[in-house]
Amino acid sequence: AQSVTQLDSQVPVFEEAPVELRCNYSSSVSVYLFWYVQYPNQGLQLLLKYLSGSTLVESINGFEAEFNKSQTSFHLRKPSVHISDTAEYFCAVSGSEKLVFGKGTKLTVNP
Amino acid sequence: DAGVIQSPRHEVTEMGQEVTLRCKPISGHNSLFWYRQTMMRGLELLIYFNNNVPIDDSGMPEDRFSAKMPNASFSTLKIQPSEPRDSAVYFCASSFQTSGGSRGVNEQFFGPGTRLTVL
Protein backbone atom coordinates (compact mmCIF):
# COMPACT_ATOMS: atom_id res chain seq x y z
CA ALA A 1 0.00 0.00 0.00
CA GLN A 2 1.08 3.55 -0.66
CA SER A 3 0.59 6.71 1.35
CA VAL A 4 1.45 10.37 0.91
CA THR A 5 2.16 13.03 3.52
CA GLN A 6 2.04 16.71 2.71
CA LEU A 7 3.44 18.36 5.80
CA ASP A 8 2.09 21.85 5.23
CA SER A 9 -1.64 22.43 4.88
CA GLN A 10 -1.19 26.13 4.07
CA VAL A 11 1.74 28.10 2.68
CA PRO A 12 1.46 31.90 2.38
CA VAL A 13 4.17 33.68 0.38
CA PHE A 14 4.73 37.03 -1.26
CA GLU A 15 4.79 37.45 -5.01
CA GLU A 16 8.21 36.77 -6.61
CA ALA A 17 9.39 34.84 -3.55
CA PRO A 18 10.58 31.23 -3.85
CA VAL A 19 8.39 28.43 -2.55
CA GLU A 20 8.77 24.77 -1.66
CA LEU A 21 5.81 22.47 -1.05
CA ARG A 22 6.85 19.32 0.73
CA CYS A 23 5.73 15.78 -0.10
CA ASN A 24 6.85 12.50 1.42
CA TYR A 25 5.58 9.10 0.40
CA SER A 26 5.76 5.53 1.57
CA SER A 27 5.51 2.47 -0.60
CA SER A 28 6.70 -1.11 -0.67
CA VAL A 29 6.93 -1.15 -4.47
CA SER A 30 8.33 1.08 -7.17
CA VAL A 31 6.17 4.14 -7.59
CA TYR A 32 5.27 6.89 -9.93
CA LEU A 33 4.87 10.36 -8.45
CA PHE A 34 2.65 13.25 -9.46
CA TRP A 35 1.80 16.80 -8.54
CA TYR A 36 -1.69 18.03 -9.37
CA VAL A 37 -3.00 21.60 -9.01
CA GLN A 38 -6.56 22.62 -8.21
CA TYR A 39 -7.65 26.20 -8.89
CA PRO A 40 -10.74 27.47 -7.04
CA ASN A 41 -13.97 25.75 -8.08
CA GLN A 42 -12.20 23.55 -10.61
CA GLY A 43 -11.08 19.95 -10.92
CA LEU A 44 -7.49 18.80 -10.55
CA GLN A 45 -4.98 19.27 -13.35
CA LEU A 46 -1.69 17.45 -13.75
CA LEU A 47 1.26 19.75 -13.07
CA LEU A 48 4.16 17.30 -13.47
CA LYS A 49 5.05 13.67 -13.00
CA TYR A 50 8.01 11.41 -12.33
CA LEU A 51 7.97 8.01 -13.99
CA SER A 52 11.63 7.12 -14.45
CA GLY A 53 14.91 8.58 -15.66
CA SER A 54 16.01 12.03 -14.55
CA THR A 55 15.00 12.68 -10.97
CA LEU A 56 14.31 16.35 -11.71
CA VAL A 57 11.08 17.03 -13.58
CA GLU A 58 9.71 20.37 -14.71
CA SER A 59 6.36 21.86 -15.63
CA ILE A 60 5.69 24.39 -18.37
CA ASN A 61 4.92 27.17 -15.87
CA GLY A 62 8.18 27.11 -13.94
CA PHE A 63 7.54 24.52 -11.24
CA GLU A 64 9.96 21.67 -10.70
CA ALA A 65 10.08 18.63 -8.44
CA GLU A 66 12.89 16.29 -7.54
CA PHE A 67 12.46 12.62 -6.78
CA ASN A 68 14.64 11.61 -3.84
CA LYS A 69 14.43 7.86 -3.29
CA SER A 70 16.59 7.77 -0.16
CA GLN A 71 14.44 10.40 1.54
CA THR A 72 11.20 9.18 -0.07
CA SER A 73 10.40 12.74 -1.04
CA PHE A 74 9.07 14.58 -4.08
CA HIS A 75 9.09 18.25 -3.07
CA LEU A 76 7.69 20.88 -5.43
CA ARG A 77 9.58 24.14 -5.93
CA LYS A 78 9.32 27.37 -7.84
CA PRO A 79 12.01 30.07 -7.68
CA SER A 80 9.59 32.99 -8.12
CA VAL A 81 5.83 32.70 -7.68
CA HIS A 82 3.05 34.75 -9.25
CA ILE A 83 -0.37 35.73 -7.93
CA SER A 84 -1.83 33.29 -10.45
CA ASP A 85 -0.08 30.37 -8.72
CA THR A 86 -2.55 30.68 -5.84
CA ALA A 87 -4.21 27.26 -5.72
CA GLU A 88 -4.22 23.98 -3.85
CA TYR A 89 -1.48 21.52 -4.75
CA PHE A 90 -1.79 17.76 -4.33
CA CYS A 91 1.01 15.23 -4.32
CA ALA A 92 0.05 11.72 -5.44
CA VAL A 93 1.70 8.32 -5.67
CA SER A 94 0.80 5.40 -7.89
CA GLY A 95 1.97 1.82 -7.99
CA SER A 96 -0.90 0.66 -10.17
CA GLU A 97 -3.92 2.24 -11.84
CA LYS A 98 -4.90 3.96 -8.61
CA LEU A 99 -3.60 7.30 -7.40
CA VAL A 100 -3.22 7.93 -3.68
CA PHE A 101 -3.38 11.63 -2.90
CA GLY A 102 -2.02 13.67 -0.04
CA LYS A 103 -4.29 16.05 1.87
CA GLY A 104 -3.16 19.00 -0.21
CA THR A 105 -1.28 22.25 0.42
CA LYS A 106 -3.01 25.59 -0.13
CA LEU A 107 -0.55 28.04 -1.64
CA THR A 108 -1.56 31.68 -1.28
CA VAL A 109 0.54 34.24 -3.11
CA ASN A 110 0.13 37.75 -1.74
CA PRO A 111 1.04 40.99 -3.55
CA ASP B 1 -12.10 17.87 -26.77
CA ALA B 2 -14.70 18.77 -24.16
CA GLY B 3 -12.86 17.06 -21.33
CA VAL B 4 -14.61 15.08 -18.61
CA ILE B 5 -18.18 16.26 -18.21
CA GLN B 6 -20.05 16.02 -14.92
CA SER B 7 -23.64 16.88 -14.10
CA PRO B 8 -25.12 18.48 -12.20
CA ARG B 9 -22.48 20.97 -11.06
CA HIS B 10 -24.40 21.68 -7.88
CA GLU B 11 -26.99 19.59 -6.09
CA VAL B 12 -28.90 20.49 -2.95
CA THR B 13 -31.18 17.84 -1.55
CA GLU B 14 -32.81 16.80 1.68
CA MET B 15 -31.76 13.91 3.86
CA GLY B 16 -33.29 10.65 2.70
CA GLN B 17 -33.57 11.61 -0.95
CA GLU B 18 -31.88 9.72 -3.77
CA VAL B 19 -29.04 11.52 -5.51
CA THR B 20 -27.59 10.57 -8.90
CA LEU B 21 -24.35 12.07 -10.16
CA ARG B 22 -23.39 11.67 -13.80
CA CYS B 23 -20.10 11.53 -15.65
CA LYS B 24 -19.08 11.41 -19.30
CA PRO B 25 -15.39 10.49 -19.66
CA ILE B 26 -13.10 11.65 -22.43
CA SER B 27 -13.72 9.71 -25.61
CA GLY B 28 -11.21 6.88 -26.01
CA HIS B 29 -10.36 6.62 -22.34
CA ASN B 30 -10.87 3.18 -20.84
CA SER B 31 -10.59 3.88 -17.12
CA LEU B 32 -12.94 5.94 -14.98
CA PHE B 33 -12.54 6.99 -11.38
CA TRP B 34 -14.97 8.47 -8.83
CA TYR B 35 -13.49 10.57 -6.00
CA ARG B 36 -14.95 12.42 -3.04
CA GLN B 37 -13.32 15.56 -1.63
CA THR B 38 -14.02 16.94 1.85
CA MET B 39 -12.14 19.27 4.15
CA MET B 40 -11.75 16.58 6.78
CA ARG B 41 -10.71 13.62 4.65
CA GLY B 42 -9.21 15.23 1.57
CA LEU B 43 -9.52 13.45 -1.77
CA GLU B 44 -10.68 9.84 -1.52
CA LEU B 45 -11.01 7.29 -4.30
CA LEU B 46 -14.45 5.68 -4.13
CA ILE B 47 -14.40 3.29 -7.07
CA TYR B 48 -12.76 2.81 -10.42
CA PHE B 49 -13.70 1.04 -13.62
CA ASN B 50 -11.55 -0.35 -16.39
CA ASN B 51 -13.27 -1.17 -19.70
CA ASN B 52 -16.63 -0.57 -17.97
CA VAL B 53 -15.93 -3.20 -15.31
CA PRO B 54 -15.63 -2.19 -11.63
CA ILE B 55 -12.11 -3.08 -10.55
CA ASP B 56 -11.89 -1.72 -7.02
CA ASP B 57 -14.81 -0.46 -4.97
CA SER B 58 -13.08 -0.67 -1.61
CA GLY B 59 -13.43 3.07 -1.14
CA MET B 60 -17.22 3.08 -1.36
CA PRO B 61 -18.26 4.13 2.14
CA GLU B 62 -21.32 1.92 2.56
CA ASP B 63 -24.19 0.20 0.80
CA ARG B 64 -25.99 3.48 0.29
CA PHE B 65 -23.47 4.23 -2.45
CA SER B 66 -23.53 2.47 -5.81
CA ALA B 67 -21.85 3.15 -9.15
CA LYS B 68 -22.48 1.89 -12.64
CA MET B 69 -20.84 2.20 -16.00
CA PRO B 70 -23.26 0.82 -18.61
CA ASN B 71 -21.05 1.85 -21.52
CA ALA B 72 -17.73 3.50 -22.27
CA SER B 73 -19.20 6.99 -22.40
CA PHE B 74 -21.31 7.18 -19.25
CA SER B 75 -21.15 6.46 -15.54
CA THR B 76 -23.36 7.22 -12.56
CA LEU B 77 -22.76 7.44 -8.84
CA LYS B 78 -25.92 7.02 -6.80
CA ILE B 79 -26.54 7.69 -3.13
CA GLN B 80 -29.74 6.29 -1.66
CA PRO B 81 -30.75 7.43 0.89
CA SER B 82 -28.57 10.50 1.19
CA GLU B 83 -27.35 11.82 4.55
CA PRO B 84 -25.86 15.19 5.60
CA ARG B 85 -22.42 13.58 6.03
CA ASP B 86 -22.43 12.80 2.30
CA SER B 87 -22.06 16.52 1.58
CA ALA B 88 -18.85 16.90 -0.43
CA VAL B 89 -17.50 17.61 -3.90
CA TYR B 90 -17.58 14.50 -6.06
CA PHE B 91 -15.10 14.27 -8.92
CA CYS B 92 -15.02 11.97 -11.88
CA ALA B 93 -11.73 11.36 -13.70
CA SER B 94 -10.79 9.32 -16.73
CA SER B 95 -7.59 8.02 -18.26
CA PHE B 96 -6.30 5.66 -20.90
CA GLN B 97 -4.61 2.75 -19.19
CA THR B 98 -2.29 0.54 -21.18
CA SER B 99 -1.79 -3.07 -20.25
CA GLY B 100 1.46 -4.51 -19.01
CA GLY B 101 4.27 -2.90 -17.05
CA SER B 102 3.31 0.70 -17.62
CA ARG B 103 -0.03 0.50 -15.82
CA GLY B 104 -0.70 3.42 -13.59
CA VAL B 105 1.50 5.98 -15.28
CA ASN B 106 -1.09 7.65 -17.42
CA GLU B 107 -2.51 11.03 -16.48
CA GLN B 108 -5.97 11.16 -14.98
CA PHE B 109 -8.14 13.97 -16.35
CA PHE B 110 -10.58 15.37 -13.84
CA GLY B 111 -14.02 16.81 -14.38
CA PRO B 112 -15.14 20.07 -12.70
CA GLY B 113 -16.89 18.18 -9.92
CA THR B 114 -20.39 18.10 -8.45
CA ARG B 115 -20.88 19.98 -5.19
CA LEU B 116 -23.44 18.01 -3.20
CA THR B 117 -25.18 19.48 -0.19
CA VAL B 118 -27.50 17.25 1.83
CA LEU B 119 -29.65 19.20 4.29
**Tens-digit pLDDT profile for residues A64-104:** 999 998 999 999 999 999 999 999 999 999 877 788 899 99
Q: Compute CA distances A102 → A109, B41, B117, whole Å.
A: 21, 10, 24
Percent of chain B with pLDDT over 70: 93
Contact list in A for residue B113 (CB cut-off 8 A) is 42-43
**Among A6, A32, A44, the residue to mutate for chain B (most B Cβ within 10 A):** A44
Q: Give the number of other CB atoms < 10 A from CB of residue A55.
A: 12
Cβ-defined contact of A46 to B42 (cutoff 8 Å): no
pLDDT at A28 over 70: yes
Q: E strands of A1-101, at which residues?
A: 3-5, 10-14, 19-21, 24-26, 32-38, 44-50, 56-58, 64-68, 73-78, 87-94, 100-101
**Tens-digit pLDDT profile for residues B51-99:** 999 999 999 988 999 999 999 999 999 999 999 999 999 999 999 887 6
Q: Which residue has the higher pLDDT, A57 or B83?
A: B83
Partner residue opposite B104 with nearest CB, options A32, A36, A104: A32
Cβ-defined contact of A94 to B104 (cutoff 8 Å): yes
Cβ-defined contact of A43 to B42 (cutoff 8 Å): no
Return the pLDDT at A29: 76
pLDDT at B100 over 60: no
Residue B43 Cα, gap to closest chain A Cα (Å): 7
- Comparing C-alpha atoms, which of B67, B112, B65, B106 is closest to residue B91? B112
Residue A13 Cα, gap to closest chain B Cα (Å): 22
Q: What's the whole-number average pLDDT of chain B?
A: 91
pLDDT at A55 over 80: yes
Cα–Cα dist A23/A102, whole Å: 8
Partner residue opposite B107 with nearest CB, options A46, A90, A103: A46
The mean per-residue pLDDT over the stretch A48-69 comes to 89
pLDDT at B104 over 60: no
The mean per-residue pLDDT over the stretch B100-107 comes to 60
A38-42, A106-110, B16-20: which range is least confident on average?
A: A38-42
Return the pLDDT at B105: 64
3-class DSSP state of B41: coil
Cβ-defined contact of B112 to A43 (cutoff 8 Å): yes
Partner residue opposite A97 with nearest CB, options B104, B110, B112: B104
**Residue A22, amino acid:** R
Return the pLDDT at B98: 73
Return the pLDDT at B1: 64
